Structure 1
């Protein structure tokens, strides 16, 4: 089923925002929602990433142009979306130099204090401060 115009706008805004996350950094679904002015919509950020087209699709935003691996949950944990998905995301982050750890329950985490990216504004919106204003935690 095709997306409504609003859903298409939202997905494109999510993908564009995620493209601004620097290499080797991670942020949360909630922080992307906050940056887009919709702090109550972190799950919808996840839905957009779940439906991100494959690189072969030819879509402008796809799994090779949107660094999907850089978005994790607010606890710093990589969410499971299907068999092997958390490990694929962890491997993509490792390739960027991000250290991932596994707890005793097998959950995979990233240390936000070292790798977190939480600007108050998207760098593209914050030309005056060049993206240097950051919030503590989201």
Structure 2
């Protein structure tokens, strides 16, 4: 059975996804910076969890069992189409999860295939992902590619 989705959790996920959607192609930011931008600076790990669930959220089909799109008794009054609308708006293609990395400039450790996919997507956008076996693998120069607007800034540059 899916875990109930609270309004607070849904609002957090939406804030994360909308913020990540603002990151320009060819730029990256950190989990912690996303947390600061949504005024939850202590929740950088939860930003990572939101993005993890996003990658598994099914876009526009009847399977609503993944992550924040899951139906539950707490939101039984919601129509099934609401969950599909959520997944249409926020999914692994509409939210550029690959543009969010660790504070030290590394692609966060996860399943090998996901790390490869993140590296490939960033390289396709022109980001230099270093893979030096003698130093830190899968590292991105945050000075060159970082996107760090102040939380009060409205524009996405």
TM-score of the two chains, using structure 2 as the length reference? 0.74
Residues 55 and 97 of structure 1: CA distance in aligned 2, closer, same or farther (over 3 Å) = farther
Q: Following superposition of structure 1 onto structure 2, how do residues 31-70 of structure 1 map, counting pairs within 5 Å?
A: 31-54=33-56, 56-58=58-60, 59=87, 60-70=89-99
Aligned position for 2:28: 26
Q: Is the 2:28–2:145 contact (alpha carbons within 8 Å) kept by the matching residues of 1?
A: yes
Could you give the per-residue CA deviations for residues 98-128 of structure 1, whole angstroms, max 9, x where no partner exists?
A: 11001326621110011000010365xx2xx
- Structure 1: stretches of 5+ with no match in the other structure: 133-138
Q: Of Structure 1 and Structure 2, which has the larger fraction of its residues in helix?
A: 2
Q: 1:114 aligns with which of 144, 148, 151?
A: 144
- Give the distance between the partners of 2:156 and 2:93, measured in 1 at CA: 24
Aligned Cα root-mean-square deviation (Å): 1.8
Runs of 4+ in 1 over 6 A off after TM superposition: none
Deviation of 1:84 (Å):
1.8
Moved more, 103-112 or 23-32: 103-112
Greater relative CO, 1 or 2 (CA 8 Å, sep 6+): 2
Q: Is the 2:28–2:142 contact (alpha carbons within 8 Å) kept by the matching residues of 1?
A: yes
* Number of residue pairs the alignment of both structures matches: 127
- Give the distance between the partners of 2:32 and 2:104, measured in 1 at CA: 11
Deviation of 1:72 (Å):
0.2
Aligned position for 2:123: 94
Q: Radius of gyration: which is bigger?
A: 2
Q: Is the 1:122–1:131 contact (alpha carbons within 8 Å) kept by the matching residues of 2?
A: no
Q: Secondary structure at the match of 1:57?
A: coil
